[in-house]
Amino acid sequence: MLTRLKYRDMTFDIILVLITLIFILISLWFDLLGPGFTFLIAVTILVLFGVITPAEMLSGVANEYVAVVLVLLLLGSIFEETHLLNAIFDWAFRGVHTARGFLFRMMIFISPLSAFMNNTPIVAIMIPYIKDWSRRHKVSVSKLMIPLSYAAILGGTATLIGTGTNMIVNGMIADQKVFPNFKPLNIFDFTPVGGTMIIIGIIFILTVGYYLLPSKSKEKEIEKHTNYVRDYFIEAQVTETSAFVGKRFNEINEKLDGLFLNQIIRKDDIYSSDVNNIVLQENDILLLEGTSQSISDLLSGSHELRFPSVGMFMQKHNVNVVEIVVSNNSWLINRRIEDINFRALYDATAIAIHRNGEKIKGKISDIKIKPGDAILLLVGDKFWALTMDVRDFYVISKVKEFTKLPLYKYLILGGGTVLVIALGALKIVSLFVGVVALLIILTLFKITTPKRLGEKIDYDLGFLLVMALAYGYAMMKTGAATIMADFIIDMFKPLGVYGLLTGIFIITNIIGSFITNKAAVAILFPIVLTVAKESAIPPVVTVLTMTYGATASFMTPIGYQTNTMVYGAGGYRFRDFIRIGLPLTVIYGFVAIVILSYIYM
């Protein structure tokens, strides 16, 4: 049990920790140095003054929590490459084209699931899908990532097994001797508050919270200022069984999001005016205009259209969409695309073309190539070796990768993931060991490669987690966290029972927001038992108030792992979490205290 420190016990180390905390808050709030570098400076200062040792600074490198987050994100990237979950999620989110509609379905799916499963892998797997969905539907990813994390947190607080913090508290209840009749909690003792907050949280995110979320992400801002967006033209033929037959383009354009109809070729006729109102017929060829990304999405998502230039190429195990630009002295110049045997020469096929904003007329296959033309190619594995010394064109970028696996490999990937999560939840095998073993198996079966795994590791996130853990350790080691706890509780004590409960919730939430919620309950547990004994408040009320305060980590991106995971993915600033997380935290605290008081007092 920790000894409570009084304000007169404040040492130089504690004062230095609190000063660096102020520096961290200012830097993160105004986005001065970036989260990783900010924590590096703060932790380095503490090392230089001997508050923590270099070994303690780097102890997070061996922390299983850090490793679990990173390997789970690797697993999520494999799901993204194989498009297994995309097919499942596309079915689950079928017909949803607005941010609010997506948020509603996502939260009612994620929150109940997180009540019984580790929410870290759920979030890790959802992140790449949300990025892809937001891009396809032109919804800012920053409108979706924080709600994803919050949905997982809300679900985790609803049951005893929803989060490790709840189970840690239950273990401490079993070990405590202050209240002999205070027995460990049951699995659904957390549900009255947690279940209520799932409903309130969803309503909040869909209403007030939606307007508090930023509308643009840094990722999109960077893309807007650094990437030149080219509009390509691609041919797509309406199939005989297509649902598009008998409909006008303006009735189906939401299914072809991001693409515009330039002309319709019907047998020997070409229609180029008022094409959106022409009723489509089977075998019509549509000349569609869109970005490289929207065209890549079309290739992977449309079952109503066929692409004459693609044929069986998409049946290959691994194909990529790449952009090339034709050089000035290329032998391709003045040759029709149809006459160039891309497949035999380069293991590729031309699917779309861009010509400096010029409108394309007629069939793409009849177009003669000019210098500077940008062409989208669908390429196989041999492309890179065959074009290594080619100077007739230059590869600009790889737009998208499609990996098509045999059924048994999908079963290994999907079934292995479910098994690993289940074994981790049952404490049979640690989640880290299980995921690493699964990654090795996926490599052996050539579902992924060591090179791809190395490219997908999020080193920035890992560095941030290591530095944040080191700083949290400094707060615990010096007693700064306990000083903060004493201060808040002593301040609220004159306000009576509800004041004390409010103080417990606030201080636990603050400590949990800047260290970890597990550390917060470890620090506060003996204190809240003392408060219960001195104030005659039932210990179950003080302990559950503390637990909800710790697990309701909405206000910072570093207090809970799922917040940290979406921090960079959504392009957020520190203040974004404060802006939306603060009102949700206030609501959570109020609901928790009211419900607990009604049930137990």
Give tens-digit pLDDT for 33-61: 877 888 899 999 999 999 999 998 988 78
498 has pLDDT over 50: yes
* Residue at which a domain ends, from 403, 421, 436: 403
Q: How many domains does the chain have?
A: 4
Distance of CA 80 to the CA centre of its chain: 12
| 161, 266: one domain | no
Tokens of 258: 């991001």
| 194, 138: one domain | yes
| Most confident listed range (68-82, 172-186, 337-351, 476-490) | 337-351
233 CB-side CA count, 13 A: 23
| CB 507 within 8 Å of CB 500 | no
| 439, 472: one domain | no
Domain around 349? 317-403
**Residue among 98, 109, 87, 107 nearest 134 (CA):** 98
pLDDT digits (tens, 9 = 90+) for 381-397: 888 888 888 888 888 88
Is 521 within the bounds of a domain? yes
410 has pLDDT over 80: yes
| 417, 439: one domain | yes
| 285, 324: one domain | no
What is the Rg, in whole angstroms, of the alpha carbon atoms belonging to the chain?
A: 28
Is 109 within the bounds of a domain? yes
Q: CA-CA distance, 597 to 601, in Å (whole number)? A: 5
| 22, 89: one domain | yes
pLDDT bracket for residue 80 (50, 70, 90) = low
Per DSSP, 290 falls in state E
| Most confident listed range (178-182, 226-230, 249-253, 527-531) | 178-182
Is 59 within the bounds of a domain? yes
| CB 112 within 8 Å of CB 157 | no
Average pLDDT over residues 482-493: 75
Is 456 within the bounds of a domain? no
One-letter amino acid of 100? R
Tokens of 282: 């089977």
pLDDT bracket for residue 544 (50, 70, 90) = very high
Provide φ and ψ at 186, rounded to 5°. Answer: -90, 170
**Residue among 172, 165, 72, 179 nearest 127 (CA):** 72
Average pLDDT over residues 175-200: 88
Helix axes 12-29, 574-600, angle to 10 degrees: 110
Per DSSP, 248 falls in state B
Helix then strand then coil, in percent of the chain rounded to 5, is 60, 10, 30
* CB neighbourhood size of 277 (10 A): 10
3-state secondary structure of 421: helix
| 58, 187: one domain | yes
Average pLDDT over residues 218-230: 45
What is the pLDDT at residue 260? 84
Is 298 within the bounds of a domain? no
Read off the CATH number of the domain in which 353 is found: 3.30.70.1450
Q: CA-CA distance, 203 to 209, in Å (whole number)? A: 9
- 501: burial class by Cβ within 10 Å (0-12, 13-18, 19+)? buried
Average pLDDT over residues 19-43: 84
What is the pLDDT at residue 596? 95
557 CB-side CA count, 13 A: 28
pLDDT bracket for residue 216 (50, 70, 90) = low
Q: CA-CA distance, 176 to 174, in Å (whole number)? A: 6
Q: Where are the beta strands (DSSP E) in 509-576?
A: none
Is 302 within the bounds of a domain? no
323 has pLDDT over 50: yes
376 has pLDDT over 80: yes
The fraction of the chain above a pLDDT of 90, given in percent, is 22
Provide φ and ψ at 471, rounded to 5°. Answer: -70, -40
Distance of CA 120 to the CA centre of its chain: 10
Is 451 within the bounds of a domain? no
| 484, 581: one domain | yes
Task: Name beta bridge partners: 397.
Answer: 323
Q: Which of 101-110, 157-166, 294-303 has the lowest mean pLDDT?
A: 294-303
* Residue at which a domain ends, from 418, 446, 474: 446
584 has pLDDT over 90: yes
Q: Sign of the C-alpha dihedral, residues 128, 418, 101, 552?
A: negative
Average pLDDT over residues 317-341: 87
**Residue among 164, 161, 150 nearest 189 (CA):** 161
Q: CA-CA distance, 336 to 327, in Å (whole number)? A: 16
| 344, 417: one domain | no
526 has pLDDT over 50: yes
Q: Which of 16-25, 233-242, 456-465 has the lowest mean pLDDT?
A: 456-465
Is 33 within the bounds of a domain? yes
| 164, 86: one domain | yes
| 389, 411: one domain | no
One-letter amino acid of 455? E
- Residue 543 vs residue 529, higher pLDDT: 543
The pTM is what?
Answer: 0.67
pLDDT bracket for residue 225 (50, 70, 90) = very low
| 327, 280: one domain | no
**Residue among 559, 546, 497 nearest 173 (CA):** 546
Name the average pLDDT for the chain. 83
Q: Which residues contact 366 (CB under 8 A, 6 or more apart)?
A: 336, 337, 338
